[in-house]
């Protein structure tokens, strides 16, 4: 082990993730390398006890497990970066952009 070794990040606590609960979003994109795919528009983030769900236009756009999930506000303050694991075990990286900055 090196001098600057770090423990592997285990994700955020549920109370930290709850800060993003009920945030209105204008759209959400899924990132895959340098590609981005729009998953949905006009929706909200919902953080439950065991999963994070993003619903857009009345249908589910994204679902990831709370275990190991990390959510961080973008430097611009207009959205949130989401990393976690989908129900099928796929690693997911998405960005949800807020519908307004006054939330």
Q: How far apart are CA 98 and CA 63, in angstroms?
A: 18
* CATH number of the structural domain spanning residue 45: 2.30.29.30
Distance between CA 84 and CA 74 in Å, rounded? 16
CA 82 to chain centre: 3
Range of the domain at 58: 14-98
pTM score, two decimals? 0.82
Residue 9 is assigned to a structural domain of this protein: no
Counted domains in the chain: 1
6 lies in some domain? no
Instruction: Report if residue 41 sits inside a domain.
Output: yes
CB 34 within 8 A of CB 55: no
Q: What percent of the chain has pLDDT over 70?
A: 87
pLDDT in tens, 14-47: 888 899 999 999 999 999 888 999 999 999 999 9
Predicted local distance difference test score (pLDDT) of residue 2: 53
Does 83 map to a domain?
Answer: yes
Evaluate whether residue 4 is within a structural domain. no
């Amino acid at each position: 082990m090196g001098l600057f070794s770090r423990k592997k990040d285990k994700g955020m606590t549920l109370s930290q993730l709850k800060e993003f609960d009920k945030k209105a979003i204008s759209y959400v994109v899924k990132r895959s390398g340098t590609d981005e795919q729009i998953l949905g528009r006009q929706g909200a983030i919902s953080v439950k006890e065991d999963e994070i769900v993003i619903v857009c236009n009345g249908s589910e756009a994204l679902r990831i497990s709370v275990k190991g999930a990390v959510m961080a506000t973008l430097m611009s303050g207009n959205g949130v970066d989401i990393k976690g694991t989908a129900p099928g075990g796929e690693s997911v990286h998405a960005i949800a952009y807020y519908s307004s900055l006054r939330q």
